[in-house]
């Protein structure tokens, strides 16, 4: 028999609950900083500007660091009626452009204790399905890149704020638009090729109904109004682009001396088509892309292309949504883009 059986518990013994460290509270932070709990809530909720001094804010942050205080986000979210979660909708994950958009948005969100869920729409740029039982109860807002406002009706309903990236600013229904200066990017491409002496072009465009590609086509037509341009389309895949470029370059009449592509993936296909036809890039044929994906420097010669600040547009989109949620007016203006001249362009062959 256990000699200890039936023995009285030792009053000096301490239970695990009694020895477990106590989690610091906002009251502890207020006491350590010598301020009120209301000031602690304002500072740690990033709502202090204009309400408490910079010195008070720093005292609160230092006290929180010293105590190892972490706010109970679940309780705060229930109290505020907020999930602190944003949905980023993209047409697909076939290029790193959208991954970089996510990286920028997530970085900006993390600075404000928000999270970002990435959702590639299963129908591309078409109507997106709600990935949750009800997005309106799971999210605080939606950011959509290269999508149409109407494609998001099933997700956002009528009460979730929406910020559109790389999308038609004339569309109504979005709280804010953040765009790249896509038209200027195409103007830079055409100015570069015209200055080299090119006058016969193929425009290789994706067979996708999207505002961003429409803008590229319009800018190209305007810039090359006096030049010979033939537009062909292909799926946004290297092999599909190769086949389309082969048909365009191998057709009757004088051969084009430059292929202007709406995407680096299409440009890679155009370079493969040139090799299959026995053409040298850039001696016989110049090729340009758009996006400056990793692919642009993986092919040889390296691709002349337009660099798009994908991470920055993601960050700007998240910042705009945070402004909307806070009742402020988001900053406006398109993000600039820049032409990177590499080895895939040169003057056209003589004659």
> What is the mean predicted confidence (pLDDT) over 292-297?
95
* pLDDT of res. 209: 87
Say if strands 141-145 and 85-90 run parallel, antiparallel, or are unpaired: parallel
Pairing of strands 258-261, 200-206: parallel
For residue 226, name the pLDDT band (cuts at 50, 70, 90). Answer: confident
pLDDT digits (tens, 9 = 90+) for 75-103: 444 334 467 889 999 988 878 899 999 99
> Domains, the chain, ranges and CATH?
22-71 (1.10.260.40), 82-178+311-331 (3.40.50.2300), 182-308 (3.40.50.2300)
Which pLDDT score, from 0 to 100, does residue 21 have? 53
- Which of 111-115, 148-152, 315-319 is predicted least confidently? 148-152
Weakest mean pLDDT among 34-48, 201-215, 249-263:
34-48
The two tokens of residue 180 are: 């790249």
User: Could you tell me which of 275, 269, 274, 309 has the C-alpha nearest to residue 289?
Assistant: 269
pLDDT in tens, 271-290: 999 999 999 999 999 999 99
Q: How confident is the model at residue 134 (pLDDT cuts 50, 70, 90)?
A: low
State mean pLDDT over 18-34: 75
pLDDT at 54 over 80: yes
What mean pLDDT do residues 219-240 have?
92
Per-residue pLDDT at 2 exceeds 70: no
Cβ 255 vs Cβ 200: under 8 Å: yes
Task: Give the global pTM.
Answer: 0.74
d(CA 310, CA 102): 9
- Rg of the chain's alpha carbons, rounded to an integer? 28
User: Averaged over 232-249, what is the pLDDT?
Assistant: 96
Q: Tell me the percentage of the chain whose pLDDT exceeds 90.
A: 55
Confidence at 69, pLDDT banded by 50, 70, 90: confident
Query: Using the 8-state DSSP alphabet, how is residue 335 labeled?
Result: B
Cα–Cα dist 105/107, whole Å: 5
Q: What is the pLDDT of residue 278?
A: 96
């Amino acid at each position: 028999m256990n000699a200890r059986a039936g023995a009285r518990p030792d009053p000096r013994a301490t239970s695990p609950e009694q020895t477990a460290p106590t989690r610091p509270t906002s009251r502890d932070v207020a006491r350590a900083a010598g301020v009120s709990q209301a000031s602690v809530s304002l500072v740690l909720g990033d709502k202090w500007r204009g309400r408490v001094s910079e010195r008070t804010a720093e005292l609160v942050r230092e006290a929180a660091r010293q105590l190892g205080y972490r706010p109970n986000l679940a309780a705060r979210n229930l109290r505020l009626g907020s999930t602190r979660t944003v949905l980023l909708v993209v047409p697909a994950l076939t290029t790193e452009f959208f991954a970089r958009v996510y990286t920028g948005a997530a970085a900006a969100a993390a600075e404000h204790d928000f999270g970002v869920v990435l959702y590639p729409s299963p129908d591309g740029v078409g109507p997106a399905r709600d990935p949750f039982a009800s997005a309106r109860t799971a999210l605080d807002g939606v950011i959509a890149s290269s999508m149409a406002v109407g494609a998001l009706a099933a997700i956002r309903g009528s009460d979730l704020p929406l910020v559109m990236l790389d999308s038609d600013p004339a569309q109504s229904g979005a709280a804010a638009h953040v765009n790249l200066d896509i038209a200027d990017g195409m103007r830079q491409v055409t100015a570069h090729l015209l200055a080299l002496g090119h006058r016969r072009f193929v425009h290789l465009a994706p067979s996708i109904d999207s505002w961003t590609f429409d803008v590229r086509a319009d800018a190209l037509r305007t810039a090359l109004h006096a030049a010979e341009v033939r537009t062909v389309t292909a799926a946004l895949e290297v092999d599909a682009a190769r086949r389309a470029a082969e048909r365009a370059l191998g057709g009757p009449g004088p051969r084009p001396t430059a292929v202007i592509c709406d995407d680096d993936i299409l440009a890679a296909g155009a370079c493969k088509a040139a090799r299959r036809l026995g053409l040298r890039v850039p001696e016989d044929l110049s090729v340009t892309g758009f996006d400056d994906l990793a692919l642009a420097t993986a092919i040889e010669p390296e691709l002349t292309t337009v660099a798009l600040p994908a991470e920055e547009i993601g960050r700007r989109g998240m910042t705009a949504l945070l402004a909307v949620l806070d009742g402020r007016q988001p900053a406006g203006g398109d993000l600039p883009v820049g032409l990177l001249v590499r080895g895939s362009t040169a003057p056209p062959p003589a004659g």
